[in-house]
Amino acid sequence: MPSFDSDAAYLAIKARDARFDGRWFVGVTSTGIYCRPICRVRTPRRENCVFFDTPAQAEAASFRPCMKCRPEVAPGPGLAWTVMDASRTLARQAAHWLDHAAAEEETPSIAALAAHLGVSDRHLRRIFAAEHGVTPLQYVQTRRLLLAKQLLTDTRLPVAQVALASGFRSLRRFNAAFADSYRMSPTRLRGDATPEAVSPADGVTVTLGFRTPYDTAAMLRFLTARAVPGVEAVEACSVRRSVRAGVLGPEAGWLEAAFIDATPTRPASLRLRYAPTLARHSGRVVMAVRRWLDLDAAPQTIDDALHDLPGAPGLRMPGSIDAFEMAVRAVLGQQVTVAAARTLARRLIERFGEPIATPWDDIARGFPSPAVLAAAPLAHIAELGIIRTRVGAIQALANAWPELTRLLALPHQPEALMTALAGLPGIGPWTAHYLAMRALGWPDAFPPKDVAVLNAMKTLFGTQNQREADARAEAWRPWRSYAVLRLWNSLAPLPLASTSTGDT
């Protein structure tokens, strides 16, 4: 049973209301097809509509995905935890863990998942079925099939490569699963589709959806101010960057993300192009980009919660593609200007970064790996103009990165990551919160002793100190990270890359 009112959902279908995109799906019994709420085909009759919370539920009921609105492009459900009962929270956290496992091309273990969540296998299966209407393995299978459908539709990757990129261990199993679920072969679907991508030699291109509004101008301004030459470049409506080896796959690569405006026949979307070296890891790439550009956020919910803060609707929280890069750059930015922080990062990249082949002359190096910076003599880093205490913090981060990587895989336990970070030299509470906010994607970070936040809140609400600011910010839970962005944006451009008074 869906977790919403079906009659209200039908009205949203008639209005093609984008606010509900990815929140639920409609199966049409007369066609055997399921669609997104924004599908622009003729609105089905009410008596022919069956509603589902997830694509997995629709496919378990023998519905096939629509070729027009393409459910595989829809934004994800967003936060896997909200203010709800514990069982639903656990079930949604389990789905997020399965998403991560599928993207990492891992074979999910229900026993490992249950242990991770601190419940028994039996209890996990029960609450998962109650929340999602399918078993965990059915959920993963649907996720992989939808990724395969997207790659078959958008790209010209060979079918065998699509199978591997979607998490199937063999072409035979992929063909069987695809035919069983969609009642057609992968090659037939590709024959019915019109690929929009260039050839794999020039990159792999896919389309990603998001809910509107999306304040693209604010996102691109934020990224522009922090783009380091040689690694990242921002243009009018797109961002391009390199990806070092070991981040999205064993080989280095590159990404290009371009925002595409809506038209009368097509919703707004993101066109993602990435290196052929990353094609085998397409699931991981797509998940990382969705998190980087916050494509799964629910803007109406967030904007409603932050109604007393200035700012345009649809503000998104910039994440990161490379969490280690984000951590090092946060240290480099402590108590210096944005321009100075970019200069230090550029020097670090030029000295220790590996060359990377990309389609662009201005993107030619990758960020240094943890192993390289951990092994570098301290004096060789310090001579770039980085003070020795910060060099020590960077090398401590590099040496601790294997353990920190494990904690980064636990997005619903930010306290564990922040505790580990705070135990490292040169990493204070502000930096720990900032990394949880941007590297982990934690939506409820509230970095303490943030000068800009305190100044903005004093102007807007008359708060006089951190204690009063913390009390006032309780009303913004669980979206305090977005509140921080709005508060930063309410002031003139900041002179410091780090606005903390506590981290040194």
Give the catalytic positions in this structure: 35, 450
- In 10 A of CB 68, how many CB atoms? 12
Distance CA 16, CA 34 (A): 15
Distance CA 220, CA 396 (A): 31
62 token code pair: 């023998």
For the purposes of burial, counting CB atoms within 10 Å of the CB of 313, is it exposed (0-12), middle (13-18) or buried (19 or more)? middle
The one-letter amino acid code at 26 reads: V
Instruction: Please tell me whether the peptide bond between 493 and the residue prior to it is cis, using omega within 30 degrees of 0.
Output: no
Residue (of 32, 472, 34, 21) closest to 212 by Cα position: 21
Q: How far is CA 221 from CA 85, 134, 195, 216, 312, in A?
A: 38, 42, 32, 8, 14
490 token code pair: 């309410």
Residue (of 120, 138, 116) closest to 129 by Cα position: 138
446 token code pair: 């509230």
Distance CA 311, CA 210 (A): 20
